[in-house]
Amino acid sequence: MLLDAPPPAVRKLRCRVSYVIPLNDALTPVATQQHFARRLNAREIYCPGGHLSPLRQAWDVA
């Protein structure tokens, strides 16, 4: 599902989209996450940590 192209409604979003990319993610490589972000034309935000960094370090990511 994640590897499918985003649906048309998502590709046509008019609001800014940000995509948080943890640099030490053992589950999803950085290059794969960059690919997802770029398909959404999202601003890429890099953070230290692993796959759950956006949850475990939510204050730092926000």
What are the sequence ranges of the domains in the chain? 18-60
pTM of the predicted structure, to 2 decimals:
0.71
Q: What does the alpha-carbon distance between residue 33 and residue 46 come to, in Å, rounded to a whole number?
A: 10
Mean pLDDT split into 10-residue runs, the chain, 62 residues: 70 82 91 90 89 69 61
**Considering just the CA atoms, what is the radius of gyration of the chain in Å?**
12
